[in-house]
Amino acid sequence: MLADIDTWVLDLDNTLYPAGSALAEQLTHGILSTLAQYYATDLAGARRIQSELVAAHGTSLRGAMVTGTIDPQDFLGFERRIDYSVIAPDPAMVAALAALPGRRYVYTNGSAYHAEQVLERLGLTDRIDGVFDILAGELIPKPYAESLDAFLDRFGVDPVRAAMFDDLEVNLALPHERGMTTVWVSAGTPYELLAERRWRTTDLPGFVRANI
Ligand SMILES: [Mg+2]
């Protein structure tokens, strides 16, 4: 079981830091104001466009690129204005990741810049062996197979020896099918085994302390 795992795959947002942080608000606002500006509309219009783009193309960024001409770096420009100091250092998370034996990768639908800022604030920069971001995935996000395959390929990950943590259950279905152990970070009991190789926990560091 977890004893055979030598590769740890970690989602970033709402997984390595809690859901409902002030960062989520800033990200949402950044994406919506970028869309509002690009499509010359207001925030309500941007919200509608965002839902359409996500439904049709997986992410707003990919949708805006496929249906328009926006440059990804221009789209992601809002990240440079985000105040990452709202993320507090997390010694419990640092200790948990340090205790994971083997390689540790961040697999995120966000950008590498965003991941680096968050990891720095949490104190995790030195604990992570690599970041696979939305640009590395050629803008195809989780939970699409193209994204997972590109991730596994990039780092030479054997799914059977890997465990993946994510706050979105939808992102874990395909990894589980491929043989990965999955840990859904969500509200519920502190930690429980839902099915073979499928865990859920409210508390990632607590889960690591109890099981590794
Ligand atoms: Mg997440």
Q: How far is the CA of 71 from the centre of ligand 1 (A)?
A: 24
Please report the sign of the dihedral spanned by the C-alpha atoms of residue 153, residue 155, residue 158, residue 162.
negative
Q: How far is the CA of 68 from the centre of ligand 1 (A)?
A: 26
Q: Which two tokens stand for residue 60?
A: 């707003």
> What pLDDT is stored for residue 81 in this prediction?
94
> What pLDDT is stored for residue 1 in this prediction?
65
Q: How far is the CA of 15 from the centre of ligand 1 (A)?
A: 5
CA distance linking residue 62 with residue 106, whole number of Å: 20
Domains of the chain: 2-17+87-211 (3.40.50.1000), 22-81 (no CATH)
The predicted model scores a pTM of 0.94
Q: What percent of the chain has pLDDT over 70?
A: 100
CA distance linking residue 92 with residue 122, whole number of Å: 10
Tens of pLDDT, residues 14-70: 999 988 889 989 999 999 999 999 999 999 999 999 999 999 988 888 898 888 888
User: Residue range 138-144: average pLDDT?
Assistant: 91
> What pLDDT is stored for residue 188 in this prediction?
80
The 103-107 sheet, strands edge to edge: 130-132, 103-107, 7-10, 162-166, 181-185, 198-201, 191-195
Q: How far is the CA of 23 from the centre of ligand 1 (A)?
A: 12
Q: How far is the CA of 134 from the centre of ligand 1 (A)?
A: 13
Neighbours of ion ligand 1 (CB under 5 A): 11, 13-15, 167
Q: What percent of the chain has pLDDT over 90?
A: 82
CA distance linking residue 168 with residue 207, whole number of Å: 17
Q: How far is the CA of 18 from the centre of ligand 1 (A)?
A: 10
> What pLDDT is stored for residue 190 in this prediction?
83
